[in-house]
Amino acid sequence: MNLHGRNLLKDTDLSAKEFRSVVELAARLRQEKRAGARMRRLAGRNIALVFEKSSTRTRSGFEVAAHDEGAHITYLGPEESHLGHKESVKDTARVLGRMFDGIEFRGSSQEAVETLGAYAGVPVWNGLTDTWHPTQLLADVLTMRDHAPAGLDEVSCCYLGDGRNNVANSLLVTGALLGLDVRICAPKSLWPAEEIRQTAAGLARESGAKILLSEDVAEGVEGADFLYTDVWLSMGEPEEAWGPRIEQLLPYQVNAKVLEASGNPEVKFLHCLPALHGRDTSVGRRLGERYGLDALEVTDEVFESPASVVFDQAENRMHTIKAVLVATAGA
């Protein structure tokens, strides 16, 4: 596998073979880290982290991964990059590309990260846009590989909730790329966009993947190895929008009955985090006071159960990000 100098802007920037190779590299790098090895494959490299949206796992994952491999990090937050405000994305790309050996971008616009990738002249990595979340899916696939009873090739995964967001888009397309059994269970109005569905359908014809989009929870989860959800309330969304969103999505909450409906006693639960599974956050308390709910997309009973592998999944963000950095920007 030779990915040196390559961008990762969306999930389909990797072939199925390359995607699996990055996952296997991440597993080896994880083993090295747990053994205390520090190989410094990125020694002397300088990496820019451009964040228009704040993050816990993405920023931590990139920073720890880079430091483990000997790279230096410069963090440019929402008030520091002027990206698209005082300076065009194209100009920013050409400036940062002269100074850094790689650039991570986390923000709203897929067009912005594509422009960075086109003009920077160094590897650019998508840490999240409104359309795609490829580094999350690398971590998800590594997690499924670790916990799949019959191996990754036999995995079936059902995503429940808002099926039109970046995680659902990436899961559907990545599942199709890798030949998995992937389902999106959501209100029809919240299914992935037609363009995303067509991309997934084309990939599935080549890989033999099974794709299902359904409004029926029982149909979606039947026989699934993994149940996946994401937070229902987007960053910065006004509280006035909460009520209609909750009413629409409450039938798709992952709770004990949904786990049981899978018919799989070994079913595992995935979540990209953060999760609203209780009242121990300020948002959780407001939801409880306003709507009388103890949880939104997942109940605490499921989140804290043996079925939950969400913290394995969160840790794997760092290992898979490290694999991307090493593969594209390493010596």
Per-residue pLDDT of the chain (331 residues; tens, 9 = 90+): 799 999 999 999 999 999 999 999 999 999 999 999 989 999 999 999 999 988 999 999 999 999 999 999 999 998 787 687 778 999 999 999 999 999 999 999 999 999 999 999 999 999 999 999 999 999 999 999 999 988 899 999 999 999 999 999 999 999 999 999 999 999 999 999 999 999 999 999 999 999 999 999 999 999 999 999 999 987 667 888 899 999 999 999 999 999 999 999 999 999 999 999 999 999 999 999 999 999 999 999 999 999 999 999 999 999 999 999 999 999 7
Angle 80-10-142 from CA coordinates, rounded to 5°: 105
Closest Cα partner for 5 from 67, 30, 108, 13?
A: 13
285 is an active site residue: no
List, as one string, the DSSP characters of 53-117.
S--SHHHHHHHHHHHHTT-EEEEE-TTTS-BTTTB-HHHHHHHHHHH-SEEEEESS-HHHHHHHH
Q: Which two tokens stand for residue 326?
A: 């090493």
At 110 the pLDDT is 98
User: 123 exposed, middle or buried (CB, 10 Å; 0-12, 13-18, 19+)?
Assistant: buried
230 is an active site residue: yes
At 149 the pLDDT is 83
Spatial neighbors of 289 by CB under 8 A, at least 6 apart, are none
User: 189 exposed, middle or buried (CB, 10 Å; 0-12, 13-18, 19+)?
Assistant: exposed
With residue 227 as reference, give the H or E element that holds it. strand 226-229
Marked catalytic residue, from 6, 230, 253, 319? 230
Domains within the chain, CATH numbers bracketed: 11-133+317-329 (3.40.50.1370), 150-265+268-306 (3.40.50.1370)
279 is an active site residue: no
At 92 the pLDDT is 94
At 236 the pLDDT is 65
Marked catalytic residue, from 20, 59, 183, 317? 317
Marked catalytic residue, from 20, 57, 101, 136? 136
Marked catalytic residue, from 57, 59, 133, 277? 133
Cα(305)–Cα(307) distance, integer angstroms: 5
Spatial neighbors of 86 by CB under 8 A, at least 6 apart, are none
At 235 the pLDDT is 60
133 is an active site residue: yes
Query: Which alpha helices (DSSP H) does the chain contain, by range?
Result: 16-34, 57-68, 89-99, 110-119, 134-147, 166-178, 194-207, 217-221, 242-249, 256-261, 282-291, 300-303, 310-329
Burial 286-297 (b: 16+ CB within 10 A, else e): ebeeeeebebbb
At 233 the pLDDT is 87
Marked catalytic residue, from 106, 145, 183, 277? 106
59 is an active site residue: no
Spatial neighbors of 102 by CB under 8 A, at least 6 apart, are 45, 47, 48, 122, 123, 124, 125, 325, 328, 329
Spatial neighbors of 206 by CB under 8 A, at least 6 apart, are none
Marked catalytic residue, from 20, 225, 272, 277? 272
Cα(265)–Cα(260) distance, integer angstroms: 7
The pTM is what? 0.97
34 is an active site residue: no
